[in-house]
Amino acid sequence: MIKVENLKKSFGDIQVLKGVDIEIQKGEVVAVIGPSGTGKSTLLRCMNYLETPDAGVISIGDLTVYAKSAAKNDIHELRKRTSMVFQSYNLFKNKTALQNITESLTAVKKIPREEADKIGMKILQQVGLEDKRDSYPSQLSGGQQQRIGIGRAMAVNPDIILFDEPTSALDPELVGEVLDVIKELAKKHMTMIIVTHEMGFAREAADRVIFMDGGYIVEQGRPEEIFEKPKNERTAKFLSKVS
Ligand code: ADP
Ligand code: MG
């Protein structure tokens, strides 16, 4: 359903993605792990063209985007079908929780306010923050802000949500509530890629774990395969350091 083929990206002289291939089925939850600086964020950012890849093909359903000849409309469509959740939430500070969630519905999709609010309230309920609809980001904890960030990503009804270390900026005691929201989405078969340092979460929530190092996918498999008997030496070495 989602296919990334031979994705390459350099910054200056440094090639960060050296040819990445991923296939993801509808409803699949894929965790991406690996050392810092190996291109995990770049991969996600290229997948929705926040960064323009140098080479490769990204397909989602009937949409195929070729890096070398990507049309503006196709990039626009790709962005509609993918949503990102960032480490640093990136909420609008002068908008309420509900407005943050409905912004893309009213401003981009031109859905009437009343209808957008209805969708927004349903999402607030799903992320457990119905009572915070009129709160501004500054009045919310980091965990609550990130749950709004996830709600915002859900609002556009994307084919896939790309999470880039969604809990790394949070105090330890706030990590659980955010992971719980993501686990709920997994139960509802939302298709997701989650870059994470939370190995316990990857093990529990992911259908598949991808280990990236040096701009490549080094190894992938079911969580128990990767965590219990990694085949690659680099995977084993990384896991021995983090777990
Ligand atoms: P990861 O998410 O795995 O930690 P990143 O994808 O963020 O890795 O970064 C991979 C490499 O690319 C790093 O060396 C980083 O410094 C570099 N890089 C990422 N984004 C940019 C950019 N916009 N400009 C220049 N270098 C970048
Ligand atoms: Mg990163």
DSSP-assigned states of every residue in 14-42? EEEEEEEEEEE-TT-EEEEE--TTSSHHH
- Decide whether any atom of ligand 1 lies within 6 Å of the 38 Cβ: yes
Q: What would the pLDDT profile of 43-92 be if each residue is shown by its tens digit?
A: 999 999 999 999 999 999 999 999 988 899 999 999 999 999 999 988 99
Q: Is 36 touching ligand 1 by the criterion CB < 6 Å?
A: yes
Q: How many helices (H) and strands (E) are present in the chain, helices listed first?
A: 9, 10
The phi and psi torsions of 218 (rounded to 5 degrees) equal -85, -40
pLDDT of residue 76: 94
Tokens found for residue 187: 């139960």
Q: What is the pLDDT of residues 118-157, one digit of tens each?
A: 999 999 999 999 999 999 999 999 999 999 999 999 999 9
Strand locations in 61-178 (E) = 63-66, 82-85, 160-164
Q: Are strands 82-85 and 160-164 parallel, antiparallel or unpaired?
A: parallel
Is pLDDT of 16 > 80?
Answer: yes
Q: What angle do CA 139, 141, 144 make, to 5 degrees?
A: 100
Give residue 66 CA to ligand 2 midpoint distance, Å: 24
CA of 37 to the centre of ligand 1 (A): 6
Ligand 1: atom nearest CA of 215 is: 10
Ligand 1 geometric centre to CA of 82 (Å):
21
pTM, two decimals, is 0.96
Q: Report whether 97 contacts 111 (CB < 8 A).
A: no
| Nearest-5° Cα angle at 219, 218 to 221 | 160
Q: Average pLDDT in the 207-224 region? A: 97
Position with higher pLDDT, 68 vs 229: 229
What pLDDT band is residue 224 in, cutting at 50, 70 and 90? Answer: very high
Q: What is the Cα–Cα distance from 177 to 141, expressed in whole angstroms?
A: 11
Instruction: Report whether residue 196 contacts ligand 1, using a CB cutoff of 6 Å.
Output: no
Sign of CA dihedral 88, 214, 42, 240: negative
The confidence score (pLDDT) of residue 68 equals: 85
What's the rounded Cα separation, in Å, for the pair 41 and 50?
A: 10
Considering every ligand atom shown, identify the ligand nearest to the alpha carbon of residue 164 and give its number. Answer: 2
Distance 36 CA to ligand 1 centre (A): 9
